[in-house]
Amino acid sequence: MVQSLEHEQDRPLLEEATLRGGEGRGRPATAGAEESEKVTIRVAFQGERGAFGDEAVRAYFGPASEPQPYRSFADVFHAVAAGAVDYGLVPVENSQAGSINEVYDLLRQYDLFVIGEVSLPVNHCLLCLPGQQLSDIKRVISHPQALAQSEAFLRELGVEVVASYDTAGSAKMIREQNLREVAAVAGAAAAELYGLQILAEGIQTIKDNHTRFIALGRDPASRREGPAKTMIVMATPHQPGALYRCLGVLAERGINLLKLESRPSRQRVWEYVFYLDFEGHRDDPPVRGALADLAQYTTFCKVLGSFPRRI
């Protein structure tokens, strides 16, 4: 379902939302004994406890958050849409390996809103059962993104590389199945959580490695003071100059384009939809005017969210 650009109303987000235990983050609904009740925010992430998504939830939502692990990105989106959790947090791109294509496709499929973002430094470690050396390792397992980000180290190590569904999940598997001569690429938090030994730290190819996570909610974020960012997905007619005209709408209003991503439309072969990140909030006059003009040049345009810019 395509969201209406004219009739969506911003509704309160985190501080003003009604969550379990009270109204607003850390503010109970009633006085008395309930004032001491701890307010928790249930947040879905992909992976196991100790994954980078688990860390990102705590970094963005703070100590009031209660991370809820889900096996797949689709499960996270479904949990938020169904109301099983309050919010979701998913990775959308890595500074080394690039975009997470599945997440972009899910943003289009679900009627959820991007309500915020956070950048998490990613320091990959090689983890194994205690008492082993690097030379003992014959196989390395992890999420495909972690393997790609550590490709140079793993190639030099000369081991079999096997993709798994999660970084911390791979560490958990090694512990639960007592897998020797097998190591996982995961974070130091997973080593501590599952009692594994760190054989090597900082094995990512590019040391300044960050992953950008986006927060998902069922309602749009309200306008806040300070810089904002807007994410949209759009499709253009399959004709010369169509994308050029759309980008010109932003340029004419002095709106800075931050990212442009294309994905298959899944409706016709070799036709694409485009995901754009740009500066400004949908309620700002320049952005509001640009969105109105984009309607003339696109076959559909959906605002995925406007939120405070942190990256």
3-state secondary structure of 170: helix
What is the distance between the alpha carbons of residues 188 and 202, in angstroms, rounded to a whole number? 10
Assess whether 211 carries a catalytic annotation: yes
Nearest alpha-carbon partner for 116 in 56, 64, 69: 56
Whether 183 and 160 have beta carbons less than 8 Å apart is answered as: no
3-state secondary structure of 34: helix
What is the distance between the alpha carbons of residues 43 and 56, in angstroms, rounded to a whole number? 10
Annotated catalytic residue: which of 167, 211, 230, 236? 211
Nearest alpha-carbon partner for 192 in 145, 119, 272, 130: 130
Nearest alpha-carbon partner for 305 in 112, 76, 81, 53: 112
Whether 200 and 264 have beta carbons less than 8 Å apart is answered as: no
Assess whether 213 carries a catalytic annotation: yes
Q: Give the total residue count for the chain.
A: 311
Annotated catalytic residue: which of 213, 274, 278, 307? 213
Whether 81 and 65 have beta carbons less than 8 Å apart is answered as: no
**Active site residues per annotation:** 211, 213
